[in-house]
Amino acid sequence: MVESPMNITVEDVAPCKKRLKIEVPANRVKQAYDKVADDFQKEARIPGFRPGHAPRAVVLKKFHKDIEGEAQRTLVPEAYQEAINEKKLRVVSAPEIEDLKYQPGLSLSFSTVVELVPEFKLPEYKGLVLKKQDDVVTDEEVDKALSSLADQRAQFEDAPERPLAMDDFAVISYSGKLDGQPFVDLVPDAKNLAENPQFWLWMKPEGFLPKFAEQCVGLKKGETRTVEVEFPADFPQAALAGKKVEYDVELKDIKVKKPAPIDDAFAQEVAKMDLAELKTRVRENMEQEKKNQADRAARTEIVQKLISAVEFELPPTAVDEETHATVYDIVAENQSRGVPAHILEEKKDEIFTNAGKAAKESVKFKFIAAQIAENEKIEVANEQIAQHLAFLAQREGITLEKMIDRVRKNNAFGAVRQQLLRQSVLDFLLKEAKFE
């Protein structure tokens, strides 16, 4: 416990927590009160007096409680900030004021528990040995990419008169029955599972429902067959989970896919160039993507090596905030993919567990990166922030002004700066790394 001339007491609460007890001297309380009183006197409107000309004693009598309240609202944050600066505390949480005591004409005191940047010794971060990623593009990979492009432009032709086989495209109609009754009303948010009068089924294992395609092999045009499907116990549609369903299936047609020939005409249609130029362009794009993948893998490896190399306590509030932000991102991503709300609710505990683990690693690296940035004098210029916001605006198809307004409303400029700082630290570490 340490006493200061300003009557500041600092007590240890936990590894990343300290309690501050702050007492503001009487003379300073009086100065703050008098200043607020002066401001009130200049603006006060009291019957019988011109605005701003009421006697001080009248103003104090009428607005005493208001003046005291405003003086406290001014003094508390000022005293808190001075105490933080004087004790050189690196605070990461917003203060919650406790035990506020005010004695008119005497003193003002309060306490607050703050969370601090953890103290730790940085691990060795220069010259990290990283796994070298494969960034070579082979001729086979280029040919496969071109085949994929040709496949996207494939034509579907009627198959010759023959039974349905695997890898065909079957044009079918189907309707499902559960316990002998149509179950279309059991899955109102996924009626395509119950029936479809014109469905293109690619005859691949597990391509639609479990063992569905395999049971259709051998059908001829116009024939019907009953197909039995056993839904897995964890199937997203609860009404069907673990149930056996019978489908009445009619084969209407058999189609075979004919990929486009890979030649100069194909290249001209795809990219307005000949085939040799298209191959070069595809190779360059694939090389760039492999380099990007290698870069992401290296950055992930750097983060994992550093957070594994040092142990320290994390501020609980920072972890909680990061956890909730991560949960929000996970839920939003799953909702965009069409995952039903009840599935997310059922997996709530799992989502929070995974988010909590990710949040701890993220918060830990934030502190490590901040310390490295301080050691190496790495800073983020305002121009970098402006360029990043311009990039985000372009990506979302909005003006830069709207993006800046959004960031300002969310009070997120600090978060953007910290994100860019971590990227700059990773850039630095990547340059210093060794690959094997």
pLDDT digits (tens, 9 = 90+) for 332-361: 888 888 778 888 888 888 999 999 999 999
Q: Report how far apart, in Å, the C-alpha atoms of 360 and of each of 13, 20, 210, 314, 369 are.
A: 21, 26, 39, 8, 14
Tens digits of residue pLDDT in 84-131: 999 999 998 888 888 888 877 678 899 999 999 999 999 999 999 999
| Single pTM value for the model | 0.73
Is residue 315 over pLDDT 50?
Answer: yes
Q: Return the structure tokens found at 6.
A: 């300003």
Query: What fold does the segment set 155-258 form as a domain?
Result: Chitinase A; domain 3 (3.10.50)
Residue 2 clears pLDDT 90, i.e. is over it? no
Q: State which amino acid sits at residue 201.
A: L
Q: Residue 327: which residues within 8 A CB-CB, separation 6 or more?
A: 351, 352, 355
Per residue in 194-242, pLDDT (tens digit) is 899 999 999 998 778 989 999 999 999 999 999 999 998 888 777 788 8
Helix (H, G, I), strand (E, B) or coil at 122: coil
So what's the pLDDT on residue 187?
A: 74
> Both tokens of residue 125?
């971060």
Burial of 171 (0-12, 13-18, 19+ CB in 10 A): middle
Fold type of domain 289-435: Trigger factor, domain 2 (1.10.3120)
Question: What's the rounded Cα separation, in Å, for the pair 105 and 231?
Answer: 77
Question: Topology of domain 8-115, per CATH?
Answer: Alpha-Beta Plaits (3.30.70)
Average pLDDT over residues 365-377: 96
Of the given ranges (5-19, 93-107, 111-125, 381-395), which has the lowest mean pLDDT?
Answer: 93-107
- What value does the mean pLDDT take over residues 242-255? 94
Q: Taking residues 28-36, what's their average pLDDT? A: 86
pLDDT of 4 above 50: no
Tell me the CA distances in angstroms from 205 to 84, 166, 217, 372, one per residue in order: 65, 8, 11, 51
Question: Does 289-435 match 155-258 at the fold level?
Answer: no
Residue spans of the domains in the chain: they are 8-115, 155-258, 289-435
Q: Which single residue is written with the structure tokens 């990419």?
A: 145
Note the pLDDT of residue 105: 66
174 vs 166, 178, 225, 344, CA distance in Å? 18, 14, 10, 30
Helices 413-432, 348-376: crossing angle, 10 deg rounding = 70
